[in-house]
Chains A and B, each alone.
Chain A
Amino acid sequence: EAGVAQSPRYKIIEKRQSVAFWCNPISGHATLYWYQQILGQGPKLLIQFQNNGVVDDSQLPKDRFSAERLKGVDSTLKIQPAKLEDSAVYLCASTGNSNYNSPLHFGNGTRLTVT
Protein backbone atom coordinates (compact mmCIF):
# COMPACT_ATOMS: atom_id res chain seq x y z
CA GLU A 1 0.00 0.00 0.00
CA ALA A 2 1.11 3.54 -0.63
CA GLY A 3 2.27 5.38 2.46
CA VAL A 4 1.26 8.73 3.89
CA ALA A 5 2.18 11.47 1.43
CA GLN A 6 3.20 14.95 2.54
CA SER A 7 4.25 18.05 0.68
CA PRO A 8 6.30 20.09 0.45
CA ARG A 9 9.32 18.37 1.97
CA TYR A 10 10.99 21.63 2.89
CA LYS A 11 9.81 25.20 3.32
CA ILE A 12 11.67 28.33 4.32
CA ILE A 13 9.70 31.46 5.16
CA GLU A 14 10.20 34.69 7.03
CA LYS A 15 8.46 35.35 10.32
CA ARG A 16 4.95 36.76 9.99
CA GLN A 17 4.47 35.03 6.62
CA SER A 18 1.94 32.26 6.14
CA VAL A 19 2.54 28.65 5.09
CA ALA A 20 0.44 25.58 4.34
CA PHE A 21 1.24 21.88 4.46
CA TRP A 22 -0.63 19.10 2.72
CA CYS A 23 -1.19 15.48 3.72
CA ASN A 24 -2.73 12.53 1.92
CA PRO A 25 -3.21 9.60 4.31
CA ILE A 26 -3.18 5.92 3.49
CA SER A 27 -6.27 5.04 1.48
CA GLY A 28 -9.16 4.11 3.73
CA HIS A 29 -7.62 5.46 6.90
CA ALA A 30 -10.29 7.35 8.82
CA THR A 31 -8.11 8.90 11.51
CA LEU A 32 -5.56 11.55 10.65
CA TYR A 33 -3.12 13.34 12.94
CA TRP A 34 -0.80 16.33 12.64
CA TYR A 35 2.27 16.32 14.88
CA GLN A 36 4.95 18.95 15.42
CA GLN A 37 8.48 17.67 16.03
CA ILE A 38 11.06 20.19 17.18
CA LEU A 39 14.69 19.16 16.70
CA GLY A 40 15.79 16.78 19.44
CA GLN A 41 12.27 16.20 20.74
CA GLY A 42 9.53 13.67 20.17
CA PRO A 43 6.45 14.37 18.07
CA LYS A 44 3.81 16.50 19.81
CA LEU A 45 0.18 16.14 18.78
CA LEU A 46 -1.40 19.24 17.28
CA ILE A 47 -4.74 17.93 16.02
CA GLN A 48 -6.59 14.66 15.44
CA PHE A 49 -9.36 14.11 12.88
CA GLN A 50 -11.82 11.23 12.65
CA ASN A 51 -13.07 11.35 9.07
CA ASN A 52 -13.71 15.09 8.60
CA GLY A 53 -14.45 15.88 12.24
CA VAL A 54 -12.01 17.15 14.86
CA VAL A 55 -11.47 14.75 17.77
CA ASP A 56 -8.75 16.63 19.65
CA ASP A 57 -7.27 20.06 18.97
CA SER A 58 -6.45 20.96 22.55
CA GLN A 59 -2.73 21.45 21.74
CA LEU A 60 -3.25 23.46 18.56
CA PRO A 61 -2.29 27.16 18.92
CA LYS A 62 -5.54 28.33 17.41
CA ASP A 63 -4.51 31.98 17.20
CA ARG A 64 -2.12 31.09 14.38
CA PHE A 65 -2.63 27.45 13.40
CA SER A 66 -5.59 26.00 11.55
CA ALA A 67 -6.28 22.63 9.96
CA GLU A 68 -9.02 21.13 7.88
CA ARG A 69 -10.01 17.80 6.38
CA LEU A 70 -13.04 18.75 4.35
CA LYS A 71 -13.79 15.50 2.52
CA GLY A 72 -12.44 13.15 5.14
CA VAL A 73 -9.37 12.31 3.06
CA ASP A 74 -6.67 14.94 2.43
CA SER A 75 -5.80 17.47 5.07
CA THR A 76 -4.06 20.84 5.17
CA LEU A 77 -2.35 22.53 8.10
CA LYS A 78 -1.82 26.28 7.95
CA ILE A 79 0.24 28.67 10.01
CA GLN A 80 -0.50 32.39 9.82
CA PRO A 81 1.48 34.35 10.87
CA ALA A 82 4.55 32.19 11.49
CA LYS A 83 6.90 32.74 14.40
CA LEU A 84 10.53 31.74 14.79
CA GLU A 85 9.54 29.03 17.31
CA ASP A 86 7.39 27.34 14.67
CA SER A 87 10.56 26.02 13.03
CA ALA A 88 10.08 22.26 13.21
CA VAL A 89 9.14 19.18 11.22
CA TYR A 90 5.40 18.80 10.73
CA LEU A 91 4.42 15.16 10.56
CA CYS A 92 1.15 13.74 9.34
CA ALA A 93 0.04 10.28 10.48
CA SER A 94 -2.97 8.08 9.89
CA THR A 95 -4.59 4.95 11.28
CA GLY A 96 -7.32 2.87 9.77
CA ASN A 97 -8.45 0.80 12.68
CA SER A 98 -10.89 2.07 15.24
CA ASN A 99 -9.01 0.14 17.93
CA TYR A 100 -7.08 2.46 20.16
CA ASN A 101 -3.94 0.34 19.90
CA SER A 102 -3.55 0.87 16.17
CA PRO A 103 -0.01 1.97 15.28
CA LEU A 104 0.47 5.30 13.60
CA HIS A 105 1.63 5.40 9.98
CA PHE A 106 3.70 8.54 9.50
CA GLY A 107 4.67 10.49 6.43
CA ASN A 108 8.21 11.85 6.11
CA GLY A 109 7.13 15.30 7.19
CA THR A 110 7.62 18.88 6.06
CA ARG A 111 10.63 20.65 7.52
CA LEU A 112 9.75 24.28 8.16
CA THR A 113 12.40 26.92 8.79
CA VAL A 114 11.20 30.36 9.90
CA THR A 115 13.83 33.11 9.60
Chain B
Amino acid sequence: SQKIEQNSEALNIQEGKTATLTCNYTNYSPAYLQWYRQDPGRGPVFLLLIRENEKEKRKERLKVTFDTTLKQSLFHITASQPADSATYLCALVNAGKSTFGDGTTLTVKP
Protein backbone atom coordinates (compact mmCIF):
# COMPACT_ATOMS: atom_id res chain seq x y z
CA SER B 1 0.00 0.00 0.00
CA GLN B 2 1.04 3.62 -0.49
CA LYS B 3 3.00 5.10 2.38
CA ILE B 4 4.44 8.55 3.08
CA GLU B 5 6.87 9.02 5.95
CA GLN B 6 8.15 12.30 7.26
CA ASN B 7 11.13 12.31 9.60
CA SER B 8 10.82 12.27 13.33
CA GLU B 9 7.78 13.80 14.89
CA ALA B 10 9.66 16.85 16.13
CA LEU B 11 12.85 18.62 15.08
CA ASN B 12 14.53 21.14 17.37
CA ILE B 13 17.33 23.36 16.08
CA GLN B 14 19.14 26.53 17.05
CA GLU B 15 18.44 29.82 15.33
CA GLY B 16 20.71 30.41 12.35
CA LYS B 17 21.21 26.72 11.61
CA THR B 18 19.84 24.86 8.60
CA ALA B 19 16.78 22.70 9.18
CA THR B 20 16.46 19.61 6.99
CA LEU B 21 13.16 17.75 6.80
CA THR B 22 12.67 14.50 4.91
CA CYS B 23 9.74 13.00 3.07
CA ASN B 24 10.02 9.36 1.98
CA TYR B 25 7.41 7.44 0.06
CA THR B 26 6.74 3.92 -1.14
CA ASN B 27 4.41 2.36 -3.70
CA TYR B 28 3.74 5.74 -5.26
CA SER B 29 4.69 7.55 -8.47
CA PRO B 30 3.96 11.22 -7.91
CA ALA B 31 4.05 13.65 -10.77
CA TYR B 32 4.66 16.49 -8.33
CA LEU B 33 5.59 16.98 -4.73
CA GLN B 34 4.45 19.95 -2.67
CA TRP B 35 5.49 21.30 0.71
CA TYR B 36 3.11 23.14 3.02
CA ARG B 37 3.49 24.94 6.32
CA GLN B 38 0.84 24.61 9.03
CA ASP B 39 0.64 26.77 12.14
CA PRO B 40 -1.46 25.72 15.17
CA GLY B 41 -5.16 26.35 14.58
CA ARG B 42 -4.63 27.26 10.93
CA GLY B 43 -4.93 25.49 7.61
CA PRO B 44 -1.83 24.45 5.65
CA VAL B 45 -0.20 27.11 3.49
CA PHE B 46 1.55 26.21 0.23
CA LEU B 47 5.31 26.83 0.10
CA LEU B 48 6.94 25.07 -2.84
CA LEU B 49 6.24 22.61 -5.64
CA ILE B 50 8.76 20.40 -7.44
CA ARG B 51 8.09 18.25 -10.48
CA GLU B 52 9.30 14.69 -10.95
CA ASN B 53 11.82 15.77 -13.59
CA GLU B 54 13.29 18.51 -11.41
CA LYS B 55 16.12 17.84 -9.00
CA GLU B 56 16.03 21.03 -6.96
CA LYS B 57 13.90 24.12 -6.41
CA ARG B 58 14.70 27.23 -4.38
CA LYS B 59 12.67 30.09 -2.97
CA GLU B 60 14.41 32.60 -0.72
CA ARG B 61 15.70 30.60 2.29
CA LEU B 62 13.89 27.43 1.21
CA LYS B 63 15.27 24.61 -0.91
CA VAL B 64 13.57 21.41 -1.98
CA THR B 65 15.15 18.39 -3.64
CA PHE B 66 13.35 15.47 -5.24
CA ASP B 67 14.99 12.11 -5.91
CA THR B 68 12.55 9.74 -7.64
CA THR B 69 15.11 6.90 -7.50
CA LEU B 70 15.42 7.12 -3.72
CA LYS B 71 11.73 8.08 -3.48
CA GLN B 72 12.66 10.96 -1.24
CA SER B 73 12.33 14.72 -0.97
CA LEU B 74 14.42 16.90 1.29
CA PHE B 75 13.20 20.31 2.50
CA HIS B 76 15.82 22.75 3.76
CA ILE B 77 15.37 26.03 5.61
CA THR B 78 18.64 27.94 5.78
CA ALA B 79 19.43 30.60 8.39
CA SER B 80 16.44 29.41 10.39
CA GLN B 81 14.50 31.83 12.58
CA PRO B 82 12.09 31.29 15.50
CA ALA B 83 9.31 32.43 13.13
CA ASP B 84 9.99 29.30 11.05
CA SER B 85 8.65 27.17 13.91
CA ALA B 86 5.65 25.27 12.54
CA THR B 87 4.59 21.88 11.21
CA TYR B 88 5.71 21.14 7.67
CA LEU B 89 3.73 18.77 5.48
CA CYS B 90 4.78 17.11 2.25
CA ALA B 91 2.13 16.15 -0.28
CA LEU B 92 2.47 13.81 -3.22
CA VAL B 93 0.38 14.81 -6.20
CA ASN B 94 -0.80 12.56 -8.99
CA ALA B 95 -3.78 13.00 -11.31
CA GLY B 96 -5.00 15.98 -9.34
CA LYS B 97 -5.06 14.15 -6.05
CA SER B 98 -2.85 15.26 -3.15
CA THR B 99 -1.84 12.74 -0.48
CA PHE B 100 -0.27 14.22 2.64
CA GLY B 101 2.31 12.94 5.08
CA ASP B 102 1.78 13.39 8.81
CA GLY B 103 4.15 16.32 9.01
CA THR B 104 7.26 17.26 10.95
CA THR B 105 7.05 19.85 13.73
CA LEU B 106 10.01 22.19 13.65
CA THR B 107 11.00 24.33 16.62
CA VAL B 108 13.71 26.94 16.14
CA LYS B 109 15.15 28.13 19.42
CA PRO B 110 16.63 31.62 19.78
Contact = CB atoms under 8 A, between A and B. Distances in A.
Interface in A21-59: 31, 40-45, 48, 55-56
Residues of B contacting A: mostly: strand
B44 A100 contact: no
A45 B102 CA distance: 13
A43 B42 contact: no
B31 interface: yes
B43 A109 contact: yes
A42 B4 CA distance: 10
Given A42-B89, A100-B32, A91 B43 contact: yes
B98 A101 contact: no
Interface of B: 4, 9, 31-32, 34, 36, 41-46, 49, 51, 89, 91, 93-103
B93 A100 contact: yes
Contacts of A56: 97
A101 B31 contact: yes
Interface of A: 4, 31, 40-45, 48, 55-56, 91, 93, 100-101, 103-109
Residues of A contacting B: mostly: loop
Given A100-B94, A101-B93, 18 more contacts: A42-B4, A42-B100, A42-B103, A43-B100, A44-B100, A48-B97, A55-B96, A56-B97, A91-B44, A100-B32, A100-B93, A100-B96, A101-B31, A101-B32, A103-B34, A105-B46, A108-B43, A109-B42
Nearest to A33: B98
B44 A104 contact: yes
Contacts of B98: 45, 104
